[in-house]
Amino acid sequence: MHDLAGITFTRYNQYESMILPLVKWLEGHGVKLVYDTRVTNVLFDIAAQRKVARRMEWLTAGKRGARDLTENDLVFMTIGSPVENSSWGDQHTPAKFDTEIREGSIWALWRNIAKQHPSFGRPDKFCTNIDESTQMTATVTFGPGKVADYIQKVCQRDPLVRDGQFFTGGNLTLRDSAWAISWNGERQPHFKAQRPDEVVSWIIGLHPAKAGDFVKNPMLECTGEEIAREWLYHMGVPVEEIGNLASTVSCNPCTLPFCVAFFLPRRAGDRPAVVPEDAVNFAFIGQFAETPRDCIYTTEYSVRTGMESVYTLLDVQRAVPEVWRSQYDIRALISTATVLRDGQALELPELFKKLDRTDIGALVRQWESLPWSGPAPGIMPDDRAVAEEKLGSFL
């Protein structure tokens, strides 16, 4: 995680790189997408060893609609959302902070579903603690000039050079920030329509209800320009330059009252299983459905819940790809410990005295990418593959 090398990113923003191509593909295969519609409830027939979705209700332009469902209809429901109630501001306007859960919201939908059976989860564990679930973000767009020069001074990379890399190298955390600001600059252009001399950066505030260090207001109450001032202050820009430079960028704030709701304390049963026990024709997908071993907050988690739901309900004889159990892999543990030591190799003579009495010692030493002190014999690529397979099956 120190350099984001283990994370895969799309070429452009996820909307243009993933959503639009998926929509085009689905429409090309006859899928009808209905917009401006919010599902308000799904009604179930629940009996011993049998749960069936029987009716779907919705709102379209203020008008109510409904459809009866059969056992041959499949219902895949996203419950809970980190971006529900998100609101945008602009350079001169603060973003609204909207925390009301209204009819037609995804949280209200989950509440209506959860009332019908305990196995459908407990949404209020995630949507009622706004102080802990709120996060605020902002985009900062700028061109050539002093702002780019200050960023290059901090990152040691020119943000205007389009080389396919993050010009920040990853997320940068401003440790002295009262808002707990982190920011990053992904590969440019981030949007297809972006100008060649335009750079888009992203700011995150983990404590937006606190007063800033330079701008003495909570981040939630700030305009885009005020957020830019706070950001430039922590970048080390001289105070007398901050006002002028903040006015040269375009900063758009966004409030997200439920952004980190999935990180709130929870226990078994707070999130429903992807396919609840005895479910006949429905499944829950997304970040608030429970699937074993995986880590939330990633696109991969949402995809995995979708695969699990489809494979289960349609009896597809295919396994969902396994999650790498890195916490049980000695190679990963040694590599991680080395990163925590700023790349300094580990001295592990006693450990390897014991490991070398077993097959694991030989296999670990063959993993030549591990950063330890002492010789590790080189091996051919074919031997490496065999070593990986043996060690993986053993673990």
pLDDT in tens, 285-297: 999 999 987 888 8
Q: Name the average pLDDT for the chain.
A: 89
Q: Does residue 382 surpass a pLDDT of 90? A: no
**Residue 5 covered by a domain:** no
Mean pLDDT of 124-136: 96
In this structure, the answer to whether residues 49 and 196 fall within a common structural domain is no
In this structure, the answer to whether residues 146 and 233 fall within a common structural domain is yes
In this structure, the answer to whether residues 308 and 332 fall within a common structural domain is no
Of 57-66, 221-230, 312-321, 375-384, the one with minimum mean pLDDT is 375-384
In this structure, the answer to whether residues 339 and 362 fall within a common structural domain is yes
Which is higher by pLDDT, 386 or 112? 112
Per-residue exposure over 308-325, b if at least 16 CB sit within 10 Å of its own CB, e if not: bbbbebeeeeeebeeeee
**Residue 120 covered by a domain:** yes
In this structure, the answer to whether residues 121 and 143 fall within a common structural domain is no
pTM: 0.84
H or E segment to which residue 242 belongs:
helix 239-246
The domain spanning residue 307 has which CATH number? 3.50.50.60
154 and 183 in contact (C-beta within 8 Å)? Answer: no
**Residue 239 covered by a domain:** yes
Q: What is the pLDDT of residue 370?
A: 55
Rg (CA), the chain: 25
Query: Rounded to whole angstroms, how far apart are CA atoms 116 and 129?
Result: 23
Q: What is the pLDDT of residue 371?
A: 52
Q: What is the pLDDT of residue 374?
A: 42
Give the largest Cα separation in the chain, rounded.
73
**Residue 373 covered by a domain:** yes
Q: Does residue 394 surpass a pLDDT of 60? A: no
Query: Rounded to whole angstroms, how far apart are CA atoms 360 and 385?
Result: 15
Q: Which residues contact 230 (CB under 8 A, 6 or more apart)?
A: 177, 179, 181, 212, 213, 214, 215, 219, 222
Parent domain of 236: 135-256
50 and 257 in contact (C-beta within 8 Å)? Answer: no
In this structure, the answer to whether residues 115 and 155 fall within a common structural domain is no
pLDDT tens-place string over residues 221-259: 999 999 999 999 999 999 999 999 999 999 999 999 999
Provide the domain count of the chain.
Answer: 3
Q: What is the pLDDT of residue 373?
A: 45
pLDDT tens-place string over residues 140-179: 999 999 999 999 999 999 999 988 888 887 888 998 999 9
Beta strands per DSSP E along the chain: 37-47, 50-60, 63-68, 75-78, 87-88, 135-142, 172-173, 181-184, 199-205, 250-256, 282-285
In this structure, the answer to whether residues 307 and 366 fall within a common structural domain is no
**Residue 293 covered by a domain:** yes
In this structure, the answer to whether residues 282 and 383 fall within a common structural domain is no
Query: Rounded to whole angstroms, how far apart are CA atoms 299 and 295?
Result: 10
Q: What is the pLDDT of residue 385?
A: 54
The domain spanning residue 144 has which CATH number? 3.30.9.80
341 and 313 in contact (C-beta within 8 Å)? Answer: no
**Residue 23 covered by a domain:** no
Q: Does residue 330 surpass a pLDDT of 80? A: no
**Residue 234 covered by a domain:** yes
**Residue 18 covered by a domain:** no
In this structure, the answer to whether residues 362 and 217 fall within a common structural domain is no
Of 226, 256, 286, the last residue of a domain is 256
In this structure, the answer to whether residues 235 and 164 fall within a common structural domain is yes
Angle between helices 359-366 and 381-394 (to 10 degrees): 140
Sorting pLDDT into bands at 50, 70 and 90, what band is 1?
Answer: low
In this structure, the answer to whether residues 102 and 59 fall within a common structural domain is yes
Q: What is the pLDDT of residue 169?
A: 79
In this structure, the answer to whether residues 144 and 232 fall within a common structural domain is yes
pLDDT above 70 as % of the chain? 91
pLDDT tens-place string over residues 203-220: 999 999 999 999 999 999
Q: What is the pLDDT of residue 118?
A: 97
Q: Does residue 188 surpass a pLDDT of 50? A: yes
Query: Rounded to whole angstroms, how far apart are CA atoms 334 and 313?
Result: 41
Query: Rounded to whole angstroms, how far apart are CA atoms 151 and 19?
Result: 31
